[in-house]
Amino acid sequence: MPKTLLSVVSGNSPEVRGALVDQVLAASPNALALAVSLHHRPDGYPVVQRLLYGAGPRIRESGSLGATGAPAVIVRQDLLSVGRAAHRPDIVVLALPQNLDTLPFVLELWRPQVTDGSLGDHYVAGPVLTGVDPGSFMADISCVHRAVRRWNGWTASEPITRAEAAAAQVEAADTVVVDSRSGAGRGLAPGVAELVQHLNGRARVATPDSTGSARLPPAALGPVPYDAQEAWRARLDPVTVPHVRRDTSHSVGSVLWRARRPVHPGRLADALTVALLGVVRGHGHLWLSNRPDSVVTWRSAGAHLELREAGPWLEADAPRLWEAVSAQRRALASWFWDDYFGERRNEVTFTGIDLDAQRIHAALDAALLTDEELALGRDHWVDVEDPFFRDNDAL
């Protein structure tokens, strides 16, 4: 029997998520949706609510199920039960709420299990689909004063801004559907679609037609043409391939800054007011002079910047480090390898409105160590005062 297609759907509002689920269900008369919601508790695991429903004659709404525990464990058991059933659906649509961090969650779902079986025994991976309401997206991407927590497979994250959560949600997708049902939202849709395309250069972006709705492309209704788990791991790696669109539309553009020498943290702090002017989203990694052994990730959304240590740089004599990262990271390290500095480099992509690439490059280039500072050696670099980190905490 052919394996069931498992597609993942999220959305920045219940309405667009529901509309997207309905589109996938309509693609097959034998399809099932598993809708998940999380309800936080003061401590411990959340309450995980699930609702099973389908369009076919064998599967109708089966009622709401609730349990307290690790979200990935509970949802995996639901999916395995469906996969082992005598009459399996052709498609299962896993509808996730905004407070689930999509990629870490699905990666944990698909992780091979020894005791109770794995999803790969019954399913093939479909694409990650995200619905975007333009009005809600523009409100969220500029919101840096309210914090949210998102769950991965097991635990809740540290608080992040709503702007960071909104950007990460569209960056996780293979297909983004900009779906606006209101007159105000329709006016924003073209600009939001362009912004989304710059935020996630590998995704297909579907835009509204004259009725305000957007249709999924056919490729979004079949298996992904790559190793899904390896691709998800690569997207979560702190060192990734920058996807930069060179064109500009609706004043939206992207700028890639890349440099092959350490960054002075004090001068970087001074450069931020210039470098971040007009930037909606920035993401990438840094080689900070005073933390020469750590990849430091750059995540900015709106006016909020987060720098975080995210593991070591790969070293030539550390095979276990190479084995622990994605194949994409290993390929990138080999491509950019320097005999003295290894894979160390700075790479940050900025997306925003009316960005001045020359100004951004000049501001950040001025934060790099000079030839004289490089000549002083590593022992001098690590003593540089750091305005970003205190006791190894992120900014």
Per-residue pLDDT at 40: 85
Q: Which residues of 143-167 are buried (b: 16+ CB within 10 A; e: fewer)?
A: bbeeebebbbbeebeeebbbbbbbb
Cβ contact 369:264 at 8 Å = yes
**Helices 71-83, 102-110: inter-axial angle, 10-degree rounding:** 50
- So what's the pLDDT on residue 394? 46
Q: CB 254: neighbour CB atoms within 10 A?
A: 26
Taking the whole predicted model, whether its pTM rises above 0.85 is answered as yes
State the chain's mean pLDDT as an integer.
89
Q: Hey, what are 313's tokens? A: 């740089």
Residue with tokens 């002079």: 289
* 153 CA to centre of own chain: 15
pLDDT in tens, 213-229: 778 888 888 999 889 99
> Out of 3-17, 209-223, 232-246, 343-357, which region has the weakest mean confidence (pLDDT)?
209-223
The answer on pLDDT for 182 being more than 70 is no
What is the mean predicted confidence (pLDDT) over 6-12? 95
Tell me the pLDDT tens digit for each residue of 55-105. 655 555 566 788 888 999 999 999 999 988 878 889 999 999 999 999 999
Amino acid identity of residue 85, one-letter, is A
pLDDT of residue 103: 94
pLDDT tens for each residue of 349-382: 999 999 999 999 999 999 999 999 999 888 888 8
Region 20-27 average pLDDT: 91
pLDDT band at 183 (very low <50, low <70, confident <90, very high): low
CA atoms within 13 A on the CB side of 359: 12
Greater confidence (13 vs 208) lies with 13
Mean pLDDT of 237-257: 86
Question: Hey, what long-range contacts does 21-24 have (CB within 8 A, 24 or more apart)?
Answer: 21/93, 21/95, 23/177, 23/215, 23/216, 24/91, 24/93, 24/129, 24/216, 24/221
Q: What is the pLDDT of residue 392?
A: 47
- Type of residue at 339: D
Please state, in angstroms and rounded to a whole number, the distance separating the CA atoms of residues 110 and 128.
Answer: 13
Contact 5/126 with Cβ under 8 angstroms? yes
291: its two tokens: 């933390």
136 within 8 A of 189, measured Cβ to Cβ: no
CB contact set of 1 (below 8 Å; sequence gap of 6+): 88
Look-up of token digits 């411990």: 44
Q: Where does 133-171 show beta strands of DSSP type E? A: 147-148, 160-161
Q: Is 356 helix (H, G, I), strand (E, B) or coil?
A: coil
Pairing of strands 123-132, 279-286: unpaired
Closest residue by Cα to residue 284 from 305, 270, 269, 265: 305
Q: How confident is the model at residue 185 (pLDDT cuts 50, 70, 90)?
A: low
- How does residue 302 score in pLDDT terms, banded at 50, 70 and 90? confident
- 316-345 pLDDT, tens digit per residue, is 989 999 999 999 999 999 999 998 899 999
Q: What is the mean pLDDT of residues 260-265?
A: 95
Give the burial class of 101: count Cβ atoms within 10 A of its Cβ; 0-12 exposed, 13-18 middle, 19 or more buried: buried
In the predicted structure, residue 125 carries a pLDDT above the cut 90: yes
CB 206 within 8 A of CB 217: yes
CB-CB contact of 38 with 97 (8 Å)? yes
Per-residue pLDDT for 211 more than 80?
A: no
Token representation of residue 330: 């290993």
Half-sphere exposure of 123 (CA within 13 A, CB side): 32
Is the per-residue pLDDT at 272 higher than 80?
A: yes
91, amino acid identity: I
pLDDT given at position 62: 61
Please state, in angstroms and rounded to a whole number, the distance separating the CA atoms of residues 355 and 272. 14
The band of 116, judged by pLDDT with boundaries at 50, 70 and 90, is confident
Residues 28 and 10: their CA atoms lie apart, in Å, by 19
Determine the Cα–Cα distance for residues 300 and 124; give it in Å rounded to an integer: 34
Q: How far from each other are the two terminal CA atoms of the chain, in whole angstroms?
A: 51
Name which of 333, 330, 352 is nearest 343 in CA terms.
Answer: 333
Task: Return the DSSP state at 247.
Answer: -
8 A C-beta contact, residue 349 and residue 284: yes
Which amino acid makes up residue 96?
Answer: L
> How would residue 297 be classed by pLDDT, with cut points 50, 70 and 90?
very high
